[in-house]
Structure 1
Amino acid sequence: MSSTILEELAATIRSRRDADPDVSYTRRLMDGAPHKPAKKLGEEAVETVIAAMSEDDKALTSEAADLVYHLLVVLECRNIDLADVLKELESRVGTSGIEEKQRRSAR
């Protein structure tokens, strides 16, 4: 997945802060922050898990896209820049998941 499309989507979500809530689903989610977008993120996570377990690749791809979108909305509601998330991911490259979890536990 290209970070460019993620950056474009994050910028679009950011621009929706000033959109008319009658025409913008993103704005309506943001108006209910933090609970409404967080709840929707959780729902999408569950739907993604269900799609993964069903072994339906098309459904999983669609649900994964919904999950990423809703995660970006939650990040925007909390004023967390996508660049910070990408930077965190970069810092983990080459580190095993076990090592990374141990590092976080030590903090």
Structure 2
Amino acid sequence: MIVGRGKNCIKTGGEREFPEEVQEVLRMSPQILDAVVTGQPDPRWGQKVTAVVSVRPGRTLDHAALRTLCHAHLARYKVPNEIVTVPAVLRSAAGKANYVWAKEVAQNALASAA
């Protein structure tokens, strides 16, 4: 089991989800170069799992295949509800995920899509 930092924990439907577990599964996909998972507000569940991903060069994102992979390795509530693509995932100089950046990118992308 992968456990991350509590401050990055996503609370959805009474469950606590650690983004690192979802990120690891997303990176198993041959489509995904990198991923950061964050929570976004959801009126029903509190938060929804949202992935910010960069796609490998020469590949296209197949949402159905990615969801199938996630369902095979994660509980249903851990599968990302939303997937936002970016040219590159921002990380710190030490290679750590930038959750503040991911939350802002996801929020802006979802707001512009609505």
Normalised by the shorter chain, which TM-score bucket? Answer: under 0.3
**With structure 2 as the length reference, what TM-score do the two structures score?**
0.26
Structure with the largest fraction of helix:
1
Structure with the largest fraction of strand:
2
**With structure 1 as the length reference, what TM-score do the two structures score?**
0.27
